Each structure stands twice: as C-alpha cells, then as structure tokens.
Chain A
Amino acid sequence: MKHAIELTINGKCYQIEVEPEERLLDVLRDRLGLIGAKEGCSTGDCGACTVLMNGQAVTSCMILAVAVDGADITTIEGLEKDGEIHPLQKAFIEEGAVQCGYCTPGMILSALALLKENPEPSDDEIRRALAGNLCRCTGYTRIIAAVKAGAERMKNHG
C-alpha cells in the first residue's frame, strides 16, 4: 500500500506517494533525480548517501521514506545559492580534496553538519565527525584541510 508523504527537500515542498519499503535514498535518487546522494554499501557503513535531515547528518540508505514524513532534507544539490556553490564546496575543490568524487557529496554534508554546530572544530573533532564517511582515494589528509578551509570561508561569509 502506498503512503502519501510530504518532504521539504532543499527548501522545496514535495508531496510524494511512496511504497513502505522505499528508502529516503531511493526517493531522492529515483523519484526526484537528486543523484548527488550515492549508494555505496546499503548498510550505513560508508556514508556516501549522507544527507542532512532536520539539520543533522544521516545515512539516507538507513531511512524508510514513509517514516520521515514531514522531514526537512538537504542534499548536496541544495547547497548552491543563486548559482554560487557553497564555501565548503569551494574549499573541497581548492584543497584538492576530491578524487573519484563518489564519497564527496556525503563527506561535504557530514562536514557541513559539523560546522553548523561547531564552527571551529579541531582536527580530532573533524575526524570524529567524518568517521562514517569512507574515502578510498585521498587518504583523508586533504579532506581535513578542506573542512578547515571551509570553516574559515564560512566565517567570512557571515
């Protein structure tokens, strides 16, 4: 049986009918074409599908869409404002923190959730916040640098 749910995604309200087994990740990718959330493991162990739900980082492969009726979701596609990419996205480019890019959207969203709560995180706080986002390419060094640079840029952007 389908259920009607309402989600606010990147500031836009969507009314969607979902099957009970559809995950939030499926709704984002298959229904709405928001392909920035990636499916890497389907078990909540890699973080590639990370999105923000009511401001908090969550693995969207671990969420049934029907169960989060009314939630406010931010995906990587929602970070751009007026055609400008987010300062954190810019930092990932400029610090060379992107290689294959498959972990990148999830990584950025986990970092964003951290920076919203803690605008000046230490290295260790960054590592703890991103521990659920696997990256196989970069060795993580530049990701830490990018989060720090992003924090600086976000401060400067008010």
Chain B
Amino acid sequence: MDDQKAYAIVGHSMLRPDAREKVRGRAVYVADFRLPGMLFARVLWSDRPHARILHIDTRQALDLPGVYTVVTADDAPNTRYGVYLKDQLIFARGKVRHIGEPVAAVAAESEAIAEKAIEKIVVQYEELPAIFEPIEAMKPGAPLIHPDLESYEATYPKIVKGNVCLYTRLSMGDTEKGFEDADYVFEDTFKTQPMYQGYLEPRGAVASFDFNDKLTVWTSNQQILVCQAELATALEMPMTQVRVIGTAIGGAFGGKLKTSVEPIAALLAKKSGRPVRLVLTREEDFIASRARAPYILRLKTGVKANGKITAKSVELIADCGGYSDHVVGTMGLAVSFSQGPYKIPNAEAKGYCVYTNNPNYSCMRAYGVHQMCFATESQMDIIASKIGMDPAEFRRRNLAEDGDVLVTTQPLRSVTVDQTMAQVLKACHWEEKRKASKQRGVKNFYGIGMANTILNMGLLSSAAIVKINEDGTASVLTGAVDLGTGNHTALAQIAAEELGMKPNDVNIAAVDSDSSPYDLGQIASRTIFDCGNAIKLAANDARRQLFATADEVLGAEGRELRASEGNVYVRDEPDKKISIRDLMGYRLYFKGGPIIGRAGWLGKPGFDHLVGEGYPQPPSVTFVFGTHVAEVEVDVGTGQVKVERITAAHDVGRAINPLGVAAQIEGGVVQGMGYALYEEMQIHEGVVQNPDFLNYRMPTILDAPEIVPIILEIPEEYGPFGAKGIGEPTNMGPPPAIANAIYNAVGVRVKELPITPERLLHALDDKKTREA
C-alpha cells in the first residue's frame, strides 16, 4: 500500500469550491428554477389510509381560470415499478393504501391557483378496513393491502404471504446447540421509530417536454441515473427519451431516492405541453415522505460466564407502510449485520417486511443497519452488566476478526473495530470515567456509554469519463451528484492525484443522464468508494494516453514518466518535461487526437455465494467500522438527557479530504443524537401528527454536543487510495451509545427510541417501584 505522504493532493484538506456559490446564495436548487411558460403543480394526496376509489371528478378543478391540466391514474401507464418489488404506481389506481399517496395533480399558472384547484377535485372513496400494526397485519385474516402481491415482479427470491412482502432467513452454525452451551441466554425486544430525513430542501422537480417528445427533468434526486431508468419504466418511454439533470441538492439522507415527485411533474408537463415545477411544501414532504421504517427487533443471545457469545438469533419485523420501497433492502442489510462486529459461531436471522396502511416508509442514512445497531449494541451492554463485565471488555472478548463470518456466511475482511475501539476509549479516558462518581448535584447523573458499528462498503456499479481539455484541465463525467456532503471535492482530488494535476484544474461536471455515465447513486456511503474507484481508473486511463504521447514528445524511450501540477516529466530528470496543456495541443492538432479516459467499476466481493432464503441484497465488497462513546447528563427529575460529548472514531481507510471526513462525522453524530432522543414521526391511524419542524424535533445548535472526531486511516485494498466511505456509519453510533450512557448514569434501560424525557422518566419510575 502506498504511503500517504506520497500523495500531493489526496489526504490533504481542501476547501469546497461549491461553498462559494452557497455562501453567496447563488446555488440553484429546484425551487429556484424558472423556465419560460412554466406552470406550477400541486398534488392531491390520499387522506384515507385504505379505501377504494369509486370516482374522481376533476371538472370543477379544470374549470378554474389559470388551471391548465389535471392528471390522475387514467393519464399514467398501468405499469408497476419499484427498486426491489414492483408494487408502485405513479398515482393510486382503484384504491389508496396510505395517507399521502398521490391521487391526482394539477398544473396551473401559480401555486395558489393549483392549490385551489386541488380543493375542487372530488374523490369518492369507499373505506376499506385499515391496519396499522405490522404484527396485526401479519395475522391470517388481516385485510390484504396488496391482494395481487403474488404477481408482482421482484429482484429477489420472493417469499410472500398475506401482507408480508419479504420473508428472509439466514443461518450459520447450530444456534440450538449454541444456546445449550450458553451459561446465560438473553432475550430482549427493541423498537425504533419512523424517522424523517429532515433535509432542509423539500423534494421537488421540474419537468419539460421538447418538440420531439423528449422529457427533461431537473431534480434534487440522489440517484440521477436510477431516476432516469425508473421514469422510463413508469412512463413507458425508452431511456433515450428521458433526460434527468441534477440540480444543487439541499440534503437528502436517503429521502431523495429513486423517483417520487419526478413522474408526477412529468405527466403534468406532458399533458399540459408546458414545463411544470412541483416543489412540495414541508407538510407534504412529511406526509408523503419516505421515512426510515420503524422496526421491531427481537434478539436472543447466548453467552458463557467468561463473556464469550455462543449463539445469537434475531427476528426483525419492519413496517413498510403502503408500499415496499426500500424497506425490503433495509431488511437485507439488517439481517446481514445482525451479529454486529462480533464473532458469533452460531447465528440465525429472520426478517419480515410487512405492508400496513401507515405512510410509505423507506430508508435513511445507514439503512436497516441503523435499527439493528441500536438493538445489538444496547443488548451488548445489557449482557455485560448482567455478567458483571465492563462493556468494553465484554466487546473485546467477542470482537470479530478477518475471516470470521457473517450470518450470510460471507467472511469479514478489513476488520478494524479493535482499533477504532482502542483509539476512542483512550481518547475519552473510558476507564477513569466509567469508575467516576455518577452523581452531580441533587438530580443530575453523569454517564458514559459506547457502541461499535459495522457496515457494508461498496455497492454495485459506477462509471466515469475523464476528458482532458485543450488547456490542460480535466472534466470528469460521473453520475454522482453532491448531496451536500462535499463528495465532488473529494472526487476531484482523486482525479487530480491520478492525473498529476492541480485539484482546481479538475471539474466534476454537472450530472446529466444524457452525458453522464452510469452510477447507482449517492447512497450506501458508496460515492468515494465506488465512484472514486471508477474515477481513479478513468483518470488512470487518460494518464496512460497522455504518457504515451509524452513519451514520444519527450523522447523518454520508455523511461518512467510522472505527472504533477499539470506537467509530465521523466522520473529523475525533472527538466525533461512538458505541460499537459502542450501535450493536448500536440494531440489535438498533430497526432493522437482527443483524450478520453474511461472506466466502469463493479466492486467484486470475492464472495458470490448467496445463502439463505428470500435474501434481497448483493454481498458486500468490504466492510467499514467505527466506535462511538457518548457522555451524558441525566436529570432524574425531568428525564431530560443532555449529551455533553460524543467521541467518534471511524476507520475511513484513507481520508481523501480530512476536512470533509470530520464534517461528515460531526453531522452524522448530531443526526444520530436526534434519533436517539428527540425525533419521531408520530403516526396515529396512518396520520402523521407532527408534519412540521416545530413538533418533529430536529436538534438545534443549542442541542448539539461537543463532538470529537477521530479519523483512522487503515488503507483498504479495494478502495481508491485505500479509502472507504463515511457518510452512514457516523449516524448509527449515537442511539445505542447514548442509551448505554443513560444506563450507566441512572441504571435504567430504555429499549424504544426515541428516549424522550417521558419514556425515561417512566422507566425511572418503574425501577423505583421494582426496588421498593
């Protein structure tokens, strides 16, 4: 592995070029878009959780001055689409399955007129029995939400029954024997809440058809190329006729995947013959959200008196709401990582994804592993406490190593959790603080807790094209958008390092499906890893072409060439050099022609043996690890928890842009803290009770704790310059670390998120009653 110091650009903190337009208020987001003749759209969302649509009368809406068009399911192809399970339509057809499902949409001269028109659409419904509890929905005789489920196409070996749209089971070793061998067996049930991604920019899209019936969509989607493909499927158009362009994105966190508003805007644009902009209000964004799915997690773990885990089995139930969306995928990862980063010889994992008439749930940062991590890391502390062992020591005795297998039977690699743990415990003075006195004043108690994280790294395909320009700069075409994370800065660093250019001479081009090569999207922490690899390979391809010409021009006769700061020179003979600009002049006007570097990348897991039943995910390429320690103060009078500090160590393989990595850790930690303590989409009979930023409580600047990021760089063989992704792991540590710190402070275990003051006070009361 190369030495970090050998790199001129990679590994050095770089300021983001896009920050300049953002601080000036000039970055253009979807809502800032205006096209000549553009109309404004509003959507009529279902206000019934489960109902047959008898009739939709749009006449009064159409009669309103300023209204151009109204669309319903009648205007949309009857093609079901979806990522894992094709169960979705653009508009509800025949029946609605959740509140917030699109029923109709209007395009008008202004949003106000469109809004008025929406109120004039009359929908006759016939209520159907609705069901809101996944466990109820699994029972025989429960009302069927998708009676045609059996016939839906799926990308995974589908095992379905009733409202269960995914059943999966994985196993390894002999769990029964494992539990027999155990001295103690722990059974705990955990619950997680629906969590809203809370990006500051609501979802939106602008759609326009040209005279050749080609559709162009501008959107703040996380998956531009996937969006293109899904639009083409949903609209029954060839992909050549669908062009998707990425705009500036005001955050996403898993909430702007695949398509949501795009097909609606497209149908309106098609029918009206005008460009149409659809930007959701915050309330709509909540109601029609794709929130992180709530999980019920039942864990059973057997452990020896010496602290060795002998067996673990989990049963997970996820609530999909009305459509499966990404919930199916989250379950795949949740069961995969149900052991946590621990060596457990006998393991079993079962997962169920269940339709209900709750809102259409989906996924968020750290996918299903987030929910799983809360349960596993909470139970690790429950066990440690019971067997009288320090939680860190208990974890150490069970830490996985390279070669240990997941319940998918895939062997782990690049396991560095021992090191993230060691670093973080040292940095936060774990030993002393665990022993320190808990009580501060009369009502306040200090606590410290930890959690380890594990996540997959590397997911499916990316591609890149590197064009060397006439002036010696380079343009990188990729399908990767920058969600705000700063990945474009780091991707430019990767290209610049490989090309031997200055980072500011590399531009990551705006993403346009007409010219950008395939990319799965900015999901799964995969951008630096997968797109980074594609870009590095493409840049290498371009460099190879440059060097071939340089060899000729410089008369190097096969001697080793190097490139740096925009010049190519013969190694050990730095005077024998030529600028890339001059090389390009030679290429373009004399010999060789333009230079285009290109590469496609599909991470090879070295493991293609998919086991078990109904498993929906591809294997991981590699894995990424981290450890969080939370320090809290609990007010036992009110149940209020103040997070004082979170120390977060993450192995990122190589920090391409250390500044960007630290920023990801800080942001992820605060989001995770919100999930731990404050945030919950409260759903009652399918209705979101708190669809606003007043009552859906995201942490404010006053709530943010001190964050100590620790960046470990243990190079990953498969990563570009050794790098792994960092977006998601940062977000999973805080909930269990905080729950464990609370237990350390006051001896109370809360197994349901969020740990609100009421929930904690309730638990404190229970403890008092038990003790009395």
Residues on A facing B (Cβ under 8 Å): 21, 29, 34-43, 45-46, 48, 75-77, 79-80, 85, 89-90, 92-94, 96, 98-105, 108, 126-128, 130-144
Contacts and interface: CB of A to CB of B under 8 A. Distances in A.
A141 B666 contact: yes
Contact of B23 (A41, A48, A108, A141): A108
A19 B175 CA distance: 70
A108 B283 CA distance: 26
B693 A100 contact: no
Interface in B478-518: 483-486
A99 B485 contact: yes
Contacts of B701: 126-127, 130-131, 133, 135, 140, 143-144
Most buried by B among A37, A75, A100, A140: A100
Given A75-B25, A131-B702, A134-B700, A102 B707 contact: no
Given A48-B200, A99-B486, A138-B663, A43 B693 contact: yes
A132 B666 CA distance: 19
Given A96-B659, A99-B485, A139 B26 contact: no
Contacts of A38: 29, 31, 200-201, 250
Given A41-B282, A99-B485, A138 B200 contact: no
Interface string B174-198: 0000000000000000000000011
B20 interface: yes
B704 A45 contact: no
A134 B701 CA distance: 7
A93 B20 contact: yes
Given A43-B693, A142-B663, A96 B16 contact: yes
B200 A134 contact: yes
Nearest to B279: A39
A127 B702 contact: yes
A118 B19 CA distance: 26
Contacts of B670: 138-140
A43 B692 contact: yes
Contact of B19 (A77, A92, A103): A92
Most buried by A among B24, B29, B282, B707: B24
Q: Which 5 A-B pairs have the closest CB atoms?
A: A36-B25, A100-B484, A101-B22, A102-B250, A139-B666
Given A36-B26, A104-B23, A99 B667 contact: yes
B468 interface: no
Contacts of B202: 39-40
Contacts of A127: 701-702, 704
Contacts of A43: 282, 692-694
A137 B667 contact: yes
A35 B32 contact: yes
Contacts of B698: 134, 136
Contacts of A46: 200, 282, 693
B15 interface: yes
Contacts of B201: 38, 40, 100, 102
Most buried by A among B20, B23, B669: B23
Nearest to A76: B25
B204 to A, nearest CB: 11
Given A38-B201, A43-B282, A96 B24 contact: no
Nearest to A146: B23
B484 A137 contact: yes
Contacts of A45: 692-694
Contacts of A92: 19, 23
A46 B281 CA distance: 13
What is the interface residue range for chain B against chain A?
35 or more
B473 interface: no
A126 B701 CA distance: 9
Interface string B436-467: 00000000000000000000000000000000
A132 B667 CA distance: 17
B248 interface: yes
Contact of A135 (B16, B200, B702): B200
28 contacts: A29-B32, A36-B25, A37-B25, A38-B31, A38-B250, A40-B202, A41-B692, A42-B282, A46-B693, A75-B25, A96-B16, A99-B485, A101-B19, A102-B199, A102-B201, A104-B22, A108-B23, A127-B701, A131-B700, A136-B253, A137-B663, A138-B670, A139-B666, A139-B667, A139-B670, A139-B671, A141-B704, A142-B666
A134 B29 CA distance: 18
B538 interface: no
Contacts of B199: 100, 102, 136
Most buried by A among B199, B666, B669, B692: B666
A35 B25 CA distance: 7
B610 interface: no
Contacts of B249: 100
Nearest to B197: A136
Interface in B284-302: none
Contacts of B19: 92-93, 96, 98, 101
B422 interface: no
Given A36-B26, A75-B25, A76-B25, A101 B692 contact: no
B374 to A, nearest CB: 19
A75 B659 CA distance: 29
A117 to B, nearest CB: 18
Contacts of A98: 16, 18-19, 22-23
B27 interface: yes
Contact of A136 (B29, B200, B486): B200
A38 B669 CA distance: 25
A119 B604 CA distance: 55
Nearest to A75: B25
A147 to B, nearest CB: 10
Contact of B18 (A101, A136, A143): A101
B668 interface: yes
A157 to B, nearest CB: 16
Most buried by A among B22, B283, B693: B22
B28 interface: yes
Interface in B11-42: 15-16, 18-29, 31-32
A133 B24 CA distance: 17
B251 interface: yes
Contacts of A21: 112
A101 B15 contact: no
B31 A39 contact: yes
Given A99-B485, A135-B701, A136-B698, 20 more contacts: A37-B25, A40-B201, A42-B281, A43-B693, A46-B200, A77-B26, A96-B15, A99-B486, A99-B667, A100-B249, A101-B18, A101-B21, A101-B27, A102-B251, A105-B22, A108-B23, A137-B484, A137-B667, A138-B663, A138-B666
A7 to B, nearest CB: 18
B209 to A, nearest CB: 24
A20 B200 CA distance: 27
Nearest to B252: A100
Most buried by B among A89, A98, A104: A98
Interface in B219-263: 248-251, 253
A134 B20 CA distance: 20
A86 B692 CA distance: 33
A99 B660 CA distance: 9
B34 to A, nearest CB: 8
A145 to B, nearest CB: 11
Nearest to B657: A96
A89 B29 CA distance: 19
A99 B668 CA distance: 12
Given A41-B693, A137-B251, A102 B200 contact: yes
A108 B253 CA distance: 23
A105 B667 contact: no
B726 to A, nearest CB: 13
Contacts of A35: 25-26, 28, 32
A133 B200 CA distance: 10
A40 B285 CA distance: 11
A94 B250 contact: no
Nearest to B706: A141
